[in-house]
Structure formats: C-alpha cells, structure tokens
Amino acid sequence: MIQLPLNRDNVIQAVFLERPNRFLVRCITDERGVLDAYLPNPGRLWELLLPGASLYLYPTMDPEGAFPSQRKTRFTVMAVQREESPIFLHTHITNQVARTLIEKGEIPSLEHARVVRGEVTRGRSRFDLLLEQDGKDLYLEVKSCTLFGNGVAMFPDAVTQRGRRHLLELAEMANAGIRSAVLFIVHSPKVTWFMPDFHTDYDFSTAFLKARDRIMILPIAIQWTPDLTLGPEVKSLEVPWDYLRAEMRDRGSYLLILKIDRTMALEIGRLGTHTFSKGYYVYVGSAMRNLRTRVKRHLQRRKKLHWHIDYLTAHTGEMIPLPIRSSRRDECEIAKALLSIMQMGPSGFGSSDCPCQTHLFFSDTNPLHIRAFHDVLKGFRMTHP
C-alpha cells in the first residue's frame, strides 16, 4: 500500500509517449530511455495523457510495501503534470487522502467522523471506507476526479458500471436506514462546480440525480504542490442541481471520430464522389431527441443509407462517438470551432440544411491526441450556470 508523503528521492520524471492498454503507459526518461510503467487508473484520461505530457513515476512496490517489486513494470505512474501542478492518477492515493482529511476533520459534513476500517464488503459490493459518526455506521465510497476545466469538474470520464452499481446499492441501503456518502475528490482547486459527466455516462448521471436525497454527495477540491505533497486547501464544490435537471436530458449534439485506414474514393449520395484520405475524420451532428439512439445508429455498419455520414460509416475503421448533451443545438457552433483547428472535409457534407460549409473535418493525427481538440470539447461540454 502506497503511503503519503512519497519519498521525493524515489520519484523520477518521464515524458508520456502512448498508452498501449488501460493499465500500461509507454514513456521516456533521461536515464533509462523508453520504458513501460504501470498505470493504476481505469479512467480514459484523454485530456491528461497527451503525447509529451510530464509524468511522475515511482518504483512499483510489493503488496507488503517493499520495493523494488519483482513485477515486470518496475515503475508506477503516480501523477501527471497539468498547468504547473501534478494531478494524482494513482487511485489508492485518493483513498489515502480521504482517510487523512477525515482524520483531520477537514471534510465538511464528515467532521467528527472516525475511520473504522477500509475495504468493507456489504452485499455484492465492496466500499472504500466504513466510518463511525455520532455512534452510527456510515459507508463511504471515494471517487477520484481528474476531469475538469472552465471551473467545472465532472465524473466519470469513462462509462463506469461499477460506479453506477455503487450509487444504486448505497441508495438501497438508505431505504434500510443505513447512512452512506460518496466523496468525489477533484485534484485541482481551480473549480467551483461538480457534476456527473452526463455527456459520457448518462446512466451513472441518472443514478446520481436520483440518489441525491438518499446519499450524501460530497464533492471537494484539493491541491497538490509541485513536490507531490498535499496542499492545505480543501474546498467544497457546489452541485448545480437545477442546472443539471435542465441540461441533463438525452438530447444535444455529438461528434463522431472516424478512422480511415486507407485513402479511398467514395460516392456520398447526391453529394457525388469524394476522396477520403487515410487519417481521422470528425463529423458533427445533433439530435434534440433520443441522442443515444442516434449515436447507436451511426455505429451500426449495416443500415439504410439516409444521411451523408451513412455512406462514410459503411467504410470506416474504428468509430468513437462523443455526445455533447445540452438544451441548445450547438452543432453549427461546434463545426465553426473545429474549422479553426482541423482541415475541411467535402463541401456540403452534413450541412445541407445550415449555412456551414461542412460538418466533416479531417486530421492526419488522432484528434484525441491534440490538445486544441480537447479544448473545443471542453468548451461545449464543461458548461455551468
């Protein structure tokens, strides 16, 4: 088990190259060259793990706390640098932080609570901490939140069935009179609001909204200093419930990232034949009703060809949908923003009914590896009252 504070002498700096799988990153260090390190975080972390990002590595430890461990990955990713501050990625560290702050009485609503034990099983689930407050049990689940921007923090950054199940089970426990709380720890003090990420995980967000009256929702922001120690500030974040109820519906706009494996000419209905280059295309659309169904339709390979995009999706490799749920139809604004950072696709593609030149854009590198693309996404997703 990792203990805070970390021994600074053991920390080494690395530059992120790629993430071959969910729990592995490839990086480069001055002394050891290219190496693979263990990443103890199941999140997507797209906007943090961009090529060139600075990482903090630590020797991988045995479960007993000894190192170096005999594991194949001799180093573990602890944190990533963003805007001059480290953002901790090691999820066990977040549990440590929760314990420390509870013991110091620094979490609003959990003052006078005492940690009884960690990793507590109840029913089919295991929760992070069992607390005792005013002589009563309180089950606490701790979530680490690294997705933030525009003063807003959102969780989760990838669909989490486990997270949703935890909310449902804690809410059910409340029916039996058992108290519980979910502590969301945001690793940056530059935020004011906390929301479930209803763009990415609509089901988790729905469960979050429903659980409101039965589970204590405690979002806080902490700060890390450049030497990887916890700063003194603990800030309570606001959940804008009314705003959530208004915006969190299954409607809005979406991006569809399409990978084209080889350059080819395709006939796009009445738009005629166009050449599509090897690389990545981003399509912008909207559905002010049933956004989820629309996106699902795009992902189906075999269907009746109706929209321009249908002619393209029949021939693409990987497709990644990025919903942007909102009460506003933002698709043309999003197209305008993408035009400033990407190349234009065929004129008139997906824009027969609007003044835009096109709703299809091209990039020879994966847009998910480009900071400017994440800034556009953030601009439309991370909105607040």
- Count of residues engaged in binding Zn ion, rule: CB under 5 A: 5
Name all contacts of 61-64 with Cβ < 8 Å and 24+ positions apart: 61/2, 63/1
CB of 318 to Zn ion, least distance (A): 25
**Sheet-wide strand order for 152-155:** 147-149, 152-155, 193-196
- In the bound state with Zn ion, the residue whose beta carbon lies nearer, of 228 and 377, is 377
- Crossing angle between the packed helical segments 371-381 and 331-339, to the nearest 10 degrees: 160
Q: How far is the CB of 343 from Zn ion (least distance, A)?
A: 17
Stretch that binds Zn ion, among 91-99, 151-159, 312-320, 344-352 (CB under 5 A): 344-352
Is there binding between residue 282 and Zn ion (CB under 5 A)?
Answer: no
Which residue of 332, 339, 341, 344 would you call a contact of Zn ion, by CB under 5 A? 332
Kindly state the smallest distance separating residue 323's Cβ from Zn ion, in Å.
18
The DSSP letter of residue 208 is H
The SS3 assignment for 166 reads: helix
**Which residue do the tokens 């706390």 mark?**
65
Closest to Zn ion by CB, 244 or 360: 360
Window 141 to 160, contacts with Zn ion (CB under 5 A): none
Of 354, 371, 372, 385, the residue at the interface with Zn ion (CB under 5 A) is 354
d(CA 218, CA 237): 8
Q: Which is nearer to Zn ion, 266 or 339 (CB)?
A: 339
Query: Between 106 and 333, whose beta carbon lies closer to Zn ion?
Result: 333
Distance between terminal CA atoms of the chain? Answer: 40
Smallest separation, CB 199 to Zn ion (Å):
20
Nearer to Zn ion, 248 or 282 (CB): 282
Contacts 24+ apart (CB under 8 A), 171-177: 171/207, 171/210, 171/211, 171/214, 171/215, 173/122, 173/139, 174/214, 174/215, 175/214
User: Is 163 within 8 Å of 143 (Cβ atoms)?
Assistant: yes
* Nearer to Zn ion (CB atom), residue 313 or residue 351: 351
Interaction mask 286-325, Zn ion, x per CB under 5 A: ----------------------------------------
Amino acid residing at 34: V
Q: DSSP code of 267? A: E
The C-alpha torsion from 311 through 312 and 316 to 320, rounded to 10°, is -120
* 249 versus 336: smaller Cβ distance to Zn ion: 336
Distance CA 308, CA 22 (A): 34
What values do phi and psi take at 204, rounded to 5? -60, -45
Residues 356-385 interacting with Zn ion (rule: CB under 5 A):
356
Q: Write down the least CB distance from residue 254 to Zn ion, Å.
A: 14
Residue 168 beta carbon to Zn ion: minimum distance, rounded to whole angstroms: 39
* Contacts to Zn ion from residues 114-133, by CB under 5 A: none
Q: How far is the CB of 355 from Zn ion (least distance, A)?
A: 7
d(CA 158, CA 164) in angstroms, rounded, equals: 12
Shortest Å, Cβ 216 to Zn ion:
43
Min CB(335)–Zn ion separation in Å: 5
Q: Which is nearer to Zn ion, 41 or 351 (CB)?
A: 351
CB of 34 or CB of 354, closer to Zn ion: 354
Sign of the dihedral defined by the CA atoms of residues 177, 194, 286, 370, in that order = negative
Interatomic CA distance for residues 328 and 288, integer angstroms: 8
Q: Decide whether 86 or 285 has the Cβ nearer to Zn ion.
A: 285
C-alpha dihedral, 69 to 144 to 128 to 180, nearest 10°? 180
Q: Would you call 18 helix, strand, or coil by DSSP? A: strand
> 170 to each of 91, 126, 175, 207, 287, how far by Cα in Å?
21, 11, 9, 11, 33
| Min CB(340)–Zn ion separation in Å | 14
State the residue number with the nearest CB to Zn ion.
356
**Using CB under 5 A, which of the segments 111-119, 242-250, 320-328, 353-361 binds Zn ion?**
353-361
Segment near Zn ion (CB under 5 A), from 249-257, 269-277, 285-293, 349-357?
Answer: 349-357
Stretch touching Zn ion by CB under 5 A, among 68-76, 123-131, 320-328, 350-358: 350-358
Residues found near Zn ion in the complex (CB under 5 A): 332, 335, 351, 354, 356
